[in-house]
Amino acid sequence: MKTYTEEFKKTIVELYENGNKNKSELAREYGTSEGNVRAWIKKYGKIKTSTGEVTTNDEILKLQKENQEIKTENEILKKALAIFSRQQKIK
């Protein structure tokens, strides 16, 4: 199975988004499958938000993961605060 660098994948997506070639042309020209090209477009392709900003699905997934980690850390801190508060009342 052939592996492709992230830079290569992003280049293919950029070529697609610039309208230079369609998915099948890119797949044929660069020796990959059309399924790969579709997956790369889904992962690295630009998404316009409701506020007009441009992001990628990959960036959204990273932010969701980071958000979940922050929520978990926040819950841990809340529990620790509750424990310390109880200990202070006992003293």
Residue 51 forms part of a structural domain: no
Euclidean distance between CA atoms 55 and 63, whole angstroms: 11
Q: Which residues is 75 bridged to in the sheet?
A: none
Tokens of 32: 């990959």
- At residue 54, the 3 state secondary structure works out as strand
Domain that holds residue 12: 1-44
Euclidean distance between CA atoms 8 and 80, whole angstroms: 46
pLDDT single digits (tens) 27-51: 999 999 999 999 999 999 998 888 9
The answer to whether the beta carbons of residues 8 and 40 sit under 8 Å apart is no
Q: How confident is the model at residue 20 (pLDDT cuts 50, 70, 90)?
A: confident
Domain count, the chain: 2
38, 61: one domain: no
